[in-house]
Chain A
Amino acid sequence: MSDAHHHHDHDHDHGGHHPEPPSEVEARALALESLLIDKGLITSDEVDRIISAYEHDIGPMIGARVVAHAWADPEYKARLLSDGPAALKELAIDYPASTRLVVVENEPGVHNAIVCTLCSCYPWAVLGLPPTWYKSAPYRSRMVSEPRSVLAEFGLSLTDGVAVNVWDSSSDVRYMVLPERPAGTEEWSEEQLASIVTRDCMIGVAKPRVPAESTTR
């Protein structure tokens, strides 16, 4: 581990470059996975895929429901932007009291994205597990130094007129992006709306896309 990294004293729920030893149960989980990989029985990718299949395919993520509800109800959206955890509670979603959740809204001319430059702080409670790239050193540094290039690599090209705000998460404050509701979804139910809100949209590296067949009906 490089010692060029900043000192920080975040809590325990993040990934690499961790100054503190893992807890006993974390060490056992790491040990088991790494032994099984060494024995050629599994790969990390297979485990990633399973987790993501169960997390993402069982149903829309919690965050997607929240976004869809905010799109459908402007008053709810206002409450969500002013007090994230309280607004989640209205939907019977518990948010851990130990961290704040700040929801940042994309608007015409303003695009938001989240990062954790020090480690991998992430709004687990609404987005599930962070993707591997979120924890990678290049994303963590380049999202701050050259956000437009990083977004373009994700397939999201923003014109010069659009301001980009990058929010650096910490153990105290986590961010979630409220994407813009796409045109052509005016008649949609909240369930339909939630289905196009992906994890990447709420990290801010993608925009919700309306499937081609639904715009031509």
Chain B
Amino acid sequence: MSIDRSVANLVGDAALPRKNGELVFQAPWEGRAFGLAVVLSDKGEYEWDEFRKNLVGKIAGGPEKTYYERWLSALENLLLEHGVVTEEELSKRAAEYAALERDPVF
């Protein structure tokens, strides 16, 4: 597994949250969201730079949300744009997790 410098070196407000250089995830889902975005880029679903621009756009959007909330939202947007997932299946699946019809295991 290689470390992609363009991922490790996001800059400015888009920089990955770190403490003393280490990545910091406040909760498991943040780590999953991070991993998903990198895996999909590695597999060529999109160029990393496309994701980065989406993320920067989300971060410019306002201060109410946490870094990884914006990250997840940027990822969702990109996958919707690319037709990888649809809004309908995403909200349906999320509702199933919220209702504990699926086991929420990270």
Interface residues of A (CB under 8 A from B): 1, 12-16, 18, 21-22, 24-36, 39, 41-42, 46-55, 57-59, 61-62, 65, 91-94, 124, 128-130, 135
Contacts and interface: CB of A to CB of B under 8 A. Distances in A.
Contact of B98 (A22, A52, A129, A130): A22
Interface in B78-100: 79, 84-85, 89-91, 93-100
Contacts of B72: 25, 28-29, 32
A50 B39 contact: yes
Given A25-B72, A30-B104, A58-B21, 13 more contacts: A1-B103, A14-B28, A22-B97, A28-B72, A32-B93, A41-B45, A48-B35, A50-B35, A51-B32, A54-B3, A57-B3, A58-B3, A62-B22
A62 B79 CA distance: 33
A31 B33 CA distance: 11
Contacts of B43: 41-42
Classify chain B: how many residues form its interface, as a range.
Answer: 35 or more
6 pairs of A and B residues whose beta carbons are closest in the complex: A31-B93, A47-B35, A53-B1, A31-B94, A29-B29, A16-B105
A129 B31 contact: yes
Nearest to B65: A25
A42 B3 contact: no
Interface string B1-40: 1110001100000000001111101111101111110111
B104 A33 contact: no
Given A42-B43, A49-B1, A55-B22, A28 B90 contact: yes
Contacts of B34: 50-51, 54
